[in-house]
Structure 1
Amino acid sequence: MKHTQVVVVGADPVGLVTALGLAKAGLDVLVVDTGREASACAPCVHDWSVLPGLDRLGVLEDATQAGFTDPSWCLRVLQTGEHLTFDLGVLAGLTPHPYNLHVEDTALCEVLERHLARHRTKPIERNARLVDLAQDQSGVEIVLETGDGVRRLRTDWVVAADGTSSMVRRLLGLGFRGSTWHDRSVVALVDADFAGRDYAGTTLQVDDRYGAVVHKVDDRRWRYTFDESLTLPEESVGARIPGVLRKVLGSVPFHVLDWHSSRMHQRTSDQYRAGRVLLVGDSAHVANRMIGHSPITAFFDAYRLIEALSAVAGGYADERVLDKYSEGRKRVFLDHALPASAGRKHLISQISDRRQLETELEHYRLASADPEALRELLLFNRELEGDSPLPRGTSSVSVFS
């Protein structure tokens, strides 16, 4: 039976970031690709707050070359006709990267895999299905089904980065408590001149019927995310997308290149550590897909887990720091990411009363006119970083310690 120090289950950006950070700390890491289908509709914008972590991993320059940076975002209010613009440049001096990174999911994964291959890691186990997991005090045995048959692996630690439907979490018997929205999320990849209609690279479109989040993918493609009632037939989602776009683009020509729909949840695992298995990102928690607080939190999960697990595996700290990781990251999600995501979704697509809308917009109107108020609005995202799980003064080889 083959043995490795860490098996990361899931090859999305968060899983690969975790693997790279652990590998840079000198751990022997195997990534198991569970066959997640790549989608052109996957998130493509990464918040300014997570970029220092990508820089410390040494991948930010390559990721930027694979995409582009943009310091601007805006709020378009369809009821009032307002177009509130914001510039992340107000964060200069507070962060080395006062901009968002626009890079497609597949391109970012390719960058991370190239960097991962430079370290003491095994080749990624492709298209493997996890079918069993058992652990004892010294390690974990996992069973994979691959194209070459069944494989059994022995590892000291498992990191679950296998998404909302995490098989690792299910095999552990951990609950995923919370609720499901009465809406579905629809993401369309659209070829259209949104820029000609004064859409910024990141645009929050506020309207109780046509609320959406619009992201620039490249010079011609845009990611358009909106929600719709679950009472509408799922089989005709694709047929309704052109009508939605026509309401906001008017006579501007467009072509829907791809689309994806899914249920929207706000849930968290009972715990983010079960013995020698640790959960990160969507396997641990999920909020609505319209806004980016859950993905931001997922990257910070990875950074904090790299700190904790590299210190334990390297003998610099005992396993209590893993419990601190679990408790701290769950608290960040419940106290900050979840309410912020729900509040932003409410603003974008759920307010029909004009007076209530006016009240909600005042904060953003002030931020558009006052740099100090804008900084306060933006710096909330640093709350998602949370505290280090390591005691002050703990030695570690992690780039995040």
Structure 2
Amino acid sequence: MSHHVIVAGGGPAGLLTALGLAQAGIAVTVLEAAQAANTSPRAMVYHWPVLPHLERLGILDDCRRIGFLKQDYGWRFAHTGEMIDWSLECLADEVERPFNLHLGQDKLSDIVFGHLAKMSNVTVRMGRKVVDLVQDAGSVTVTVETVDGERETYEGDYLIGSDGAASVVREKLLKLNFFGVTWPERFIATNIYCDFERHGYRRTTMQVDDEQGAIIVKIDDGRFWRVTFMEDAALPSESIEARIHEKFKTLLPPGESYELVAFSPYRMHQRAADTMQVGRVLLVGDAGHITNPTGGLGLTSGMFDSFAVVETLKRVMLDGAAPGLLKDYSDDRRRKFIELVSPRASQNKLTVFHSAPGKAFDIWTERMREIARNKDLQRGALSFTAGLATQFS
């Protein structure tokens, strides 16, 4: 019996889902509204628990060739210059790969697209925006609109909605709620050439300050870095680039030259759909939940959605598991987001961007120093993301 799954959305979560299903022998059609991959500054840090999954999918070596693995973390206090160091080396006795992967999200997409292109049971259609879906007890029929305004239909056993935070599948077609809050600030993610390392910055540096707070992360083995900071969302969007240069006068190391390559402004949210499964439609990644990016938990949790939905569909479609497993997928992924991802990401944001000198800050700072000195405490702090995976019996 042949099986076919439609994936609406060609971002990392959707593409990894497509790859996992295709490797299991399931025919997959990927429908992406855009005509090309998004190359704007986006998520780029992959936490260590996802690396075994990337290896299982056969893409880890490609990811390592283009990106790099690292262990170092730094918590830097802008008003004093103090750097508190953590390292994934503390996990070396417990996990095979105690590293995080740094790789642009667009580069990951390119890698997965390359693997999908070699598979005879995968079809990728760019420039196809999903505009309608109809499902019954045995199938899902999806209607798309091409860039020329023509309409096409695709039929499959299941539909994966992986079309991002503004998901048409979730909002327009399933008409689900997207509960939560929108933060009042605007994030500005920039890609720049700058020599942070000669000033003692770690390859992941969380700069903690209520005025100069920033996430500073190395992109490649050279001088290419991501610097993300926050500003008032009421400021005019047309003058963002000018404000970036003004901000960098105080945010970057004194006297250090830089070249601004790209920037991307975006609003931040903590939201989750009221379900991630409606009949034969399942949501993954930002289509099902969205978080502010402080700590890199959005991309990591979305990847765990992908790994979980692949395993769920394999069991239902290939092994004869009861369809109730689809609801279990939804319940578990929502719980992981609501109870773990969103609270931790919210606390990360408040810590990095809203910490001012004072008694509470001094207590928190001393706690961070204690974790740096105590490998057991550090091991616990750096193992958090392992708990985001869905466990199957």
Q: Same fold (TM over 0.5)?
A: yes
Distance (Å, rounded) in 2 between the aligned partners of 1:72 and 1:236: 35
Alignment partner of 1:184 is 2:189? no
CA contact 2:165–2:289 (8 Å) conserved in 1: yes
Q: Structure 1 stretch 74-83 or stretch 158-167: which is displaced more?
A: 74-83
Equivalent residue in structure 2 for 1:233, among 213, 233, 236: 236
- Shift of the 223–281 alpha-carbon distance from structure 1 to 2, 3 Å rule, reads same
Distance (Å, rounded) in 1 between the aligned partners of 2:366 and 2:62: 39
Match of 1:297 in 2: 301
Match of 2:375 in 1: 371
Distance (Å, rounded) in 1 between the aligned partners of 2:315 and 2:60: 24
- Figure out how many residues of one structure are paired with residues of the other and give that number: 387
Q: TM-score, normalised by structure 2?
A: 0.95
Provide Cα deviations, 1:221-267, integer angstroms capped at 9, x if missing partner: 11111111123222211111112122132210011111010111110
- Cα displacement (A) at 1:13: 1.3
Q: TM-score, normalised by structure 1?
A: 0.93
Match of 1:31 in 2: 30
Distance (Å, rounded) in 1 between the aligned partners of 2:61 and 2:210: 39
Q: Any gaps of 5 or more consecutive residues in structure 1?
A: 393-401
Match of 1:262 in 2: 266
Provide Cα deviations, 1:320-342, integer angstroms capped at 9, x if missing partner: 11100000010000000000000
| Structure 2 SS opposite 1:190 | strand
Provide Cα deviations, 1:37-95, integer angstroms capped at 9, x if missing partner: 51241222211121111111111111111111111111101123210112211111322
Distance (Å, rounded) in 2 between the aligned partners of 1:355 and 1:144: 57
Match of 2:213 in 1: 211
Alignment partner of 1:311 is 2:310? no
Provide Cα deviations, 1:300-353, integer angstroms capped at 9, x if missing partner: 111111110111111431111110000001000000000000001111011224
Aligned residue type for 1:297: S
Aligned residue type for 2:14: G
Aligned residue type for 1:154: E
Match of 1:55 in 2: 55
- Cα displacement (A) at 1:359: 2.0
Aligned residue type for 1:247: T
Match of 2:226 in 1: 223
Equivalent residue in structure 2 for 1:250, among 246, 254, 269: 254
CA contact 2:116–2:122 (8 Å) conserved in 1: no
Match of 2:286 in 1: 282
Provide Cα deviations, 1:356-383, integer angstroms capped at 9, x if missing partner: 1112223321121111111011011111
Match of 2:163 in 1: 162
Match of 1:19 in 2: 18
Match of 1:199 in 2: 201
Provide Cα deviations, 1:183-231, integer angstroms capped at 9, x if missing partner: 0111011111111221111110000011111111121211111111123
Question: Which contiguous aligned blocks of 4+ residues in structure 1 show a shift greater than 4 angstroms?
Answer: none
CA contact 2:284–2:306 (8 Å) conserved in 1: yes
Distance (Å, rounded) in 2 between the aligned partners of 1:316 and 1:198: 55
Distance (Å, rounded) in 1 between the aligned partners of 2:156 and 2:340: 34
Identity of matched residues, %: 34
CA contact 2:22–2:122 (8 Å) conserved in 1: no
CA contact 1:4–1:28 (8 Å) conserved in 2: yes
Aligned residue type for 1:246: K
Q: Any gaps of 5 or more consecutive residues in structure 2?
A: none
Distance (Å, rounded) in 2 between the aligned partners of 1:361 and 1:321: 44
Match of 2:140 in 1: 140
Aligned-residue Cα RMSD (Å) equals: 1.5
